[in-house]
Structure 1
Amino acid sequence: MFFEIIKNKNKYMRKVFIIFCLLFNLSVFSQEEISIIIYKKKSNTIIDAKKENTNAGIFVKKMAKKMENVEYTLKFNKNSAVFFETSKMNLEKDENSLVIEFSKTLGGGNGIYYVNRKTNKTFHEREFESELYLVEQDKISNWTLTQEKKKIGNYNCFKATKNDTFVGSSGNLITIKIIAWYTPEIPFSYGPIKYNGLPGLILELENDKVIFYASKIELHKKDSKEKVLQPKKGIKITQSRYDSIIMGLAKDFNKKYKRN
């Protein structure tokens, strides 16, 4: 009788152990696998030697120096990605506040960028004129892939280019060239700010103002605390409508400035 009880108890404990292992493995594999890339950026602006010691030249040099402390995070899984600024720089109440603000926003990177591969939607949550907007952005396409390659860290990267349009300070649309270096060795089609859609992760991105570059890469993290969340705050608006608001305000400002 005693041995029968021990035998049954062992069977029971074995069942409990098996169930525990199954539940443990289920919880581990159900965790969202997240990858995190830290990007930094540097100025892509060349200062004219004649203007180096002018107020504008000094401002640009200060901004380039502050830019070294700006960091961004790209957090992604197989279906979606979010990109946002994560540096902790205080805005001093002096001339440096403007330098810091420009160093953060120059060349893009202000607000939260989100892309969803399942829905093929891209959103940008950003503040403008004290209003928070949730801009549904146009799909990034028309990349030109090249065979030009270079090594970034341990990754083989290929060059891709495209033209993109922005609202300039005059209120008119301007076209700039975007250069991306992506690696097929990390097969996720994400990158800095709004740029995506390449056959690999973008490790370096260059526009007319700045260069974003990956400084830290953490792939396939299983951490239940990390989530890729879609921004939902702000006035929902299309990219074309948002551009028209910016264009109108910029043109009004320029007219007023010229009259004065």
Structure 2
Amino acid sequence: MRPIYLFIFCFFYFSAIDAQNKGNIVYRIVTDELKSQENHSQAKQSFYKLMNSMSLIRDSLYFNLDFKDSESLFYLDKGKNVGMSNERGYNSIIKSFSSVFYRNNDTKELIEQVSTDRIYLITSSTKDLKWEITNEEKKINQYLCYKAVTTIKARSLTKGDHFKKIQAWFCPEIPLNLGPNNFGGLPGLIFELKIGMLTYYIESLNFNPKAGTEIVKPTKGKEITRDEYFSLKPVITKENFKEYIGG
């Protein structure tokens, strides 16, 4: 993984962070590299090369986590990944990260606003996520972080419903129970979050924003549970493969 660069834009010591009720955290992504072997077919090597080139687009993205009082909003900053719009696969990658994540720690409400064929508001609760905090620790820059793991239900075109392991490194020194993609609820800010081949990491922290931070709860879209949303997504099997490729 590339070095984690953390730039702190804060006029207060972290011991006073719990007195802060608003701010902005910027996250970036680093993607695990797919490594082809000599015995791989030419088609597979070409596929790996394409996927790794598309990783450059993902790794150029910036994400904002805005928070104020009990509310937070996590979303892609579409204005910052400058210079990649002409790259192959750009539009599909941007679309795959277009969800907006809203969290309210007072009401325990989680909302993911997804835009596909239509707009959905996938609702859940902060109480649904159960973390296992381990004894593993490491320093990210000078900050001591602890490892936590959990599993979530996921759905893919080929696997269907399955469970995915999530790994987080959180820092109790910064007592915000927040993180990327509405992952939170830990006794400290999530500095790194690994989902499959993607790792979110903190680029910058700002606990003293010059402008007021306003959190706007997403309201546009059809309200739906995650299981209901999963039921709308097809699963490609050997039996129905041809209908999805137009055969």
- Fold agreement, TM-score > 0.5: yes
Which moved further from structure 2: 51-60 or 236-245? 51-60
- 8 Å CA contact 2:72–2:104 kept in 1: the answer is yes
Structure 2 residue 105 is matched with structure 1 residue 110:
no
Q: CA offset at residue 47 of structure 1?
A: 2.6
Equivalent position to 1:72, from 44, 49, 63: 63
Equivalent position to 1:35, from 7, 14, 23: 23
Q: CA offset at residue 212 of structure 1?
A: 0.4
Q: Distance in 2 between matches of 1:216 and 1:61?
A: 26
* TM-score where L is the length of structure 2: 0.79
Unaligned runs of 5+ in 1: 1-31
Indicate the residue corresponding to 1:14 in structure 2.
none
Structure 2 residue 204 is matched with structure 1 residue 213:
no
Task: Give the 5 Å matches for 1:96-135.
Answer: 96-98=87-89, 100-104=90-94, 109-129=97-117, 131-135=118-122
Q: How big is the alpha-carbon RMSD for the aligned residues of Structure 1 and Structure 2?
A: 2.6
Q: CA offset at residue 103 of structure 1?
A: 4.1
Q: Distance in 2 between matches of 1:151 and 1:47?
A: 28
Equivalent position to 2:145, from 141, 146, 157: 157
Indicate the residue corresponding to 1:223 in structure 2.
211
Deviations for 1:223-255, whole angstroms, at most 9, x for unmatched residues? 33x21111111111111111111146x579746
Question: Which residue identity does 1:137 align to in structure 2?
Answer: S
Greater gyration radius:
1
Q: Distance in 1 between matches of 2:68 and 2:183?
A: 16
Q: CA offset at residue 97 of structure 1?
A: 4.4
Query: Using CA pairs below 8 Å that are at least 6 residues apart, which structure has the higher relative contact order?
Result: 2
Unaligned runs of 5+ in 2: 1-19
Q: 1 or 2, which has the higher helix percentage?
A: 1
Q: Distance in 2 between matches of 1:74 and 1:160?
A: 20
Indicate the residue corresponding to 1:170 in structure 2.
158
Indicate the residue corresponding to 1:84 in structure 2.
75
Q: CA offset at residue 35 of structure 1?
A: 1.4
Q: Distance in 2 between matches of 1:135 and 1:119?
A: 16
Say which SS state the counterpart of residue 193 (structure 1) adopts.
Answer: helix
Deviations for 1:122-177, whole angstroms, at most 9, x for unmatched residues? 00111112x11111135442211012111113321110001112111126112221
* TM-score where L is the length of structure 1: 0.75
- 8 Å CA contact 2:157–2:233 kept in 1: the answer is no
Aligned residue pairs: how many?
Answer: 221
Say which SS state the counterpart of residue 57 (structure 2) adopts.
Answer: helix
Say which SS state the counterpart of residue 242 (structure 1) adopts.
Answer: helix
Question: For the structure 1 residues 167 and 60, does the alpha-carbon distance in structure 2 shift closer, same or farther, using more than 3 Å as the test?
Answer: same
Task: Give the 5 Å matches for 1:195-206.
Answer: 195-206=183-194
Deviations for 1:15-55, whole angstroms, at most 9, x for unmatched residues? xxxxxxxxxxxxxxxxx942111000011243332459633
Indicate the residue corresponding to 1:148 in structure 2.
136
Report percent identity of matched pairs.
23
Structure 2 residue 234 is matched with structure 1 residue 243:
no
- 8 Å CA contact 2:34–2:48 kept in 1: the answer is no
Say which SS state the counterpart of residue 139 (structure 2) adopts.
Answer: strand
Q: Distance in 1 between matches of 2:78 and 2:41?
A: 28
- 8 Å CA contact 1:45–1:210 kept in 2: the answer is no
